[in-house]
Amino acid sequence: MEKNKCDRSPNGRHMYSKAMEQEYPRKCVHCGEPETISHMEIERRFLLKGLPRVVRESTNWTPYHPTQPVEIWSEEVVPMPKDGSINDIVIEQYYTEDRRTWCNSVLRYRSVRYMRPDSAGLPALNIAYFITQKKRISPGVYEEEEMQISPVEFYRVVLNSNFPKIVKRRFILPTPDGLKWEIDMFVEKHHIIIAEVEMPSTLHLLDIPEFIKEVMLMEVTDKDQFLNSRLAGVYVYNG
């Protein structure tokens, strides 16, 4: 069946509402079929005045620095665990010139450093590399296509480059409602802390946990100056 074919539409193709306040993924106004998108990311972001107490007082966070030496010419892609066992990472995120492909999208290269026990059970540094095309649909709603790549694919692009970038340490805190709060502590250019949470729907009623409320300054979901790309110095309508 053709991806965008609609038997009930006058022109034979799905049609979607362009209203800003609506649930995503959107549904065809004629047949009700959901819009097909590779990955929809729906998030809310909050500026914090400091790290939540649960992070400050915890002994679970592993100290390490984002510039530890690594093997950059390996062609091996080692999948990053998705079992929820990683809760402390360092992210270096580069925005390349290809960000101009779409006027409201960015292309980013990202390295994610995390500690994980090796075969002997000792903490070992691991690094995963990703390339992501991220397109903004509305404040807090993005279409995202991401692929994990090898170290050599990553460093061929960013090594000795002048691309805008951000560096941040991320603490991941799951909550009983099944959501995961990501606390990003930005370093280098900007020394700010932003909490973000990905939601299942734009209509989801978010219950902000107390550990966020106690340090929250304001919500910045719709404030462009706090987008990751803007913090990196990329002035496009995106995150």
For the segment 214-226, the average pLDDT, to the nearest whole number, is 95
- The predicted structure's pLDDT at residue 2: 44
Question: Which amino acid makes up residue 136?
Answer: R
**Confidence at 101, pLDDT banded by 50, 70, 90:** very low
Which of 142, 133, 131 lies closest to 40, judged by CA?
A: 142
- The predicted structure's pLDDT at residue 190: 82
User: Do the Cβ atoms of 195 and 208 come closer than 8 Å?
Assistant: no
Residue-wise burial string across 8-36, b where 16 or more C-beta atoms lie within 10 A, e elsewhere:
eeeeeebbeeeeeeeebbbbbebeeeeee
- The predicted structure's pLDDT at residue 69: 53
- Summarised one tens digit per residue, pLDDT across range 31-49 is 877 665 567 899 999 999 9
Q: What is the pTM of this model?
A: 0.78
- The predicted structure's pLDDT at residue 31: 80
**Confidence at 17, pLDDT banded by 50, 70, 90:** low
- Find where tokens 């070992």 sit: 124
- The predicted structure's pLDDT at residue 40: 83
**Confidence at 71, pLDDT banded by 50, 70, 90:** low
Q: What is the third-level CATH fold of 41-232?
A: Hypothetical Protein Pfu-838710-001 (2.40.320)
CA 202 to chain centre: 17
Q: Where are the domains of the chain?
A: 1-36, 41-232
